[in-house]
Amino acid sequence: MSYKKEFIEFMVRAGVLTFGDFTTKSGRKTPYFVNTGNYKTGAQADKLGYFYASCIIENMAKGMISENIASLFGPAYKGIPISVATAIAMSREFDRDINYCFNRKEEKDHGEGGKMVGYKLQDGDSVLMVEDVITAGTAVRETLPQLMAAAKVKVEGLIISVDRMERGQGQKTAIQEIEEEFGIKTYPLVTVREIIDTLYNKEVDDKILIDDFVKERMEEYLERYCVQQQ
């Protein structure tokens, strides 16, 4: 759990986690926003890889994720730098040299060809997907056929930055739908509930980001759009 508070503050300082008035792609008015496209420096990429690696190691220790992951897989585009940064952190911080690969949006018709770049997947490999966030599970649905076309692999799970805990079109979250549809469990670094608990009336660089007013707005949003976890 030690990395969670640090990760939340890291997102704030990187301008990735912000508070105010935003509108999601689905048209929902939200008091907070997570934009991982705001990561832009080498130091941020380095730190982000460490947080993802920490989440993986934590869940390996719990027996939730296999110790024998053959490769990380980062769906294009935002998953690409995450997979590379995480593989570097796994090697440097945790002495685990792990492969990585990612897909192209369009198939290359010259050179080595194909849609996959990096480690060449083999039948029977266990693969761990790394992505920024899940909204509707579109990236998973698009890239799974590419993974299965490359080799008969087992997808161990999916690591994401933040679980917004929001319902999709039905009464379940996209994370729950992906687990039901594909049998893939998602492991978020943090949930929106952990963000509230960590930042409520707490200063980050001498500024309180979630005061009583912001917390009330976030609680109202969770009540309206999110699946309440037991």
β-pairing verdict for 203-204 and 114-118? unpaired
- Spatial distance between the Cα atoms of 157 and 130, rounded to a whole number of angstroms: 9
What burial class does residue 175 get, using C-beta atoms within 10 Å of its C-beta: 0-12 exposed, 13-18 middle, 19+ buried?
Answer: buried
154 counts as catalytic: no
What values do phi and psi take at 30, rounded to 5? -125, 140
- Spatial distance between the Cα atoms of 14 and 44, rounded to a whole number of angstroms: 8
Q: Which residues pair with 129 in a beta bridge?
A: 73, 158
Q: Which residues pair with 207 in a beta bridge?
A: 204
- Spatial distance between the Cα atoms of 172 and 127, rounded to a whole number of angstroms: 25
110 counts as catalytic: yes
Is the CB of residue 8 less than 8 Å from the CB of residue 190?
A: yes
Is the CB of residue 184 less than 8 Å from the CB of residue 158?
A: yes
Which among 25, 62, 105, 110 is annotated as catalytic? 110
> By C-alpha distance, which of 55, 57, 14 is closest to 159?
55
Which among 29, 108, 152, 202 is annotated as catalytic? 108
Is the CB of residue 209 less than 8 Å from the CB of residue 12?
A: yes
What values do phi and psi take at 129, rounded to 5? -85, 140
- Residues taking part in catalysis: 108, 110
